[in-house]
Amino acid sequence: MSGVFRGVVGSAALAWSVAMGVSLMAQTPALPQSLPAEAKKMKAAFPSSPAALDAGKQLYGKYCRFCHGDTGAGDSKMAPKTMQPPNLTDQTWTRGSSEGEIFWIVQHGAPPKYDMKGLKGKITDQDTWNLVHFVRSLGGVPKS
Ligand code: HEC
């Protein structure tokens, strides 16, 4: 092997490993293992209303129903078999049921596995709050 050839192979290998490193970094966003404490303290930007629930329902149909089911009961036949979307109409909220906690999950996804991805950048904050109000109207959140 000539020295020149070895040099070319070497720099190609270096370029490849740099590119891999960059793409691995891009694929591993710094998402936490559980919700950050401040999520719970966040308050909705506006209160629930018939208009918010209506908008939330439309968004739910578009972004959530195929996993969480028509009524939110977690019984959709279309959900990927590799995951178990929870029932959003019962009293069990593994990650919390406050406005801010649900907002965080819709934006960032469901930790720790993130089988459910977040919609940050795809929908506005206003639509995220519309979804929060709709999800909290499904019956599982205790009235305060
Ligand atoms: C690809 C399927 C999928 C989609 C789409 C999806 N989810 Fe989820 N969702 C899940 C899974 C799976 C979990 C739970 C993950 C786990 O337990 O590891 C989850 C968890 C949640 C939780 C937390 C529940 C709890 O008890 O902690 C909420 C709230 C939630 N989803 C709401 C939504 C909303 C609102 C949408 C639409 C914007 C949505 N999800 C879209 C699959 C999905």
Q: How many residues would you count in the chain? A: 144
The predicted-structure confidence for 24-81, as pLDDT tens digits, reads as follows 555 555 899 999 999 999 999 999 999 999 999 999 999 999 999 999 999 999 999 9
Give the mutation target among 60, 102, 103, 116 for probing the ligand 1 site: most ligand atoms within 8 A of CB: 116
CA of 3 to the centre of ligand 1 (A): 56
Which of these, 43, 68, 61, 81, lies nearest to 140 by C-alpha position? 68
What mean pLDDT, rounded, does the chain reach? 88
CA-63 nearest atom, ligand 1: 37
Residue 98 has pLDDT above 60, yes or no: yes
Q: Which residues contact 62 (CB under 8 A, 6 or more apart)?
A: none
Q: Which residues contact 83 (CB under 8 A, 6 or more apart)?
A: 67, 113, 115, 116
Average pLDDT of span 76-99: 96
